[in-house]
Amino acid sequence: MISAQDKILHVANKLGLTSLKDMQASTGAVYDVDTELSGTIFSQASRHANPSVTNINENQFEVNEALLVETVAFYVKDGSGNVVNFQGVYGSQAVIVFDLIIGNKRTIKETPVFAAGSPFTFANTSNQTKPLGGDLLQCFVPRHQVYMEGAGILIPPQIQWYVQYTIFNVITGDIIAPTDATALGCYLFGTKVNLNFNTSI
């Protein structure tokens, strides 16, 4: 298993980013919501409110900043601006099929994220609810994440990236269209490289 730091340095070396190794290693996450309902996330982040919708000003990192994507997760931003669980809004039969595009290259291909709870997400959070006309019972809040296996994927500095997605009904195969009250959000989490001026200023 290649470590996160080794992977970052390997890609940086391939791309000729000789100064990336001198920057501050950290942990980071970027998020955005497809409020335009366009089927892409992050591509229009520059128009979105910060931090209620996104935490980036544009969908590329500045000089000497990078993110090794180790987890991709999806959520829903409802009409009140709340972050809510995807299954709780769309139901268990929904499935997100997404690509992660970095530059002009597709790095994650047609990957499903099941509302019922995706592969890799063993440790689900339990919750209690009272169904209509029923007793209080235990239920699950499924997780909608992809934990990268084997190797994370590096988003290099100054390269645009975005997530392209479609939501389907896995039973019928029909497309489910999001609305303003059910806009899909995504975060990318992993090892981050932050710009560090220690040796230059």
Partner 1 sequence: MSQVSKLSFVDGKLGAPTSGQQTTRVLFNTIENPGTTSSLTFFRSFQGLTNGQTNLTQNKLDSMESMVIKTIWLAQFFSSGSLDTFGGFVQQTVSIIVGNQTVVKNLPIQFNQGVAGQAFDRLHENGGTLNQQVNSSATVQNVQPAEIRLLTDIVIPPQVAFEVRIDSNSGVYGSGAVVCALAGYGKIFSAGNSF
Burial (CB < 10 A; 0-12, 13-18, 19+), residue 31, is buried
| Positions in 5-34 near partner 1 (CB under 8 A) | none
Nearer to partner 1, 37 or 139 (CB): 139
Interface map 141-180 toward partner 1 (x if CB under 8 A) = xx---xxxxxx-x------------xxxxxx-xxx-----
| Positions in 86-125 near partner 1 (CB under 8 A) | 87-89, 91-93, 95, 97, 105-112, 114, 116-120, 122-124
Let me know: does 135 contact 123? Beta carbons within 8 Å.
Answer: no
Residue 126 is a binding residue for partner 1 (CB under 8 A): yes
- The footprint of partner 1 on this chain (CB under 8 A) covers a number of residues equal to 54
Residue 81: both structure tokens together = 């601006």
The minimum distance between CB 146 and partner 1, in angstroms, equals: 6
Q: What are the distances in angstroms from CA 123 to CA 92, 128, 167?
A: 17, 16, 24
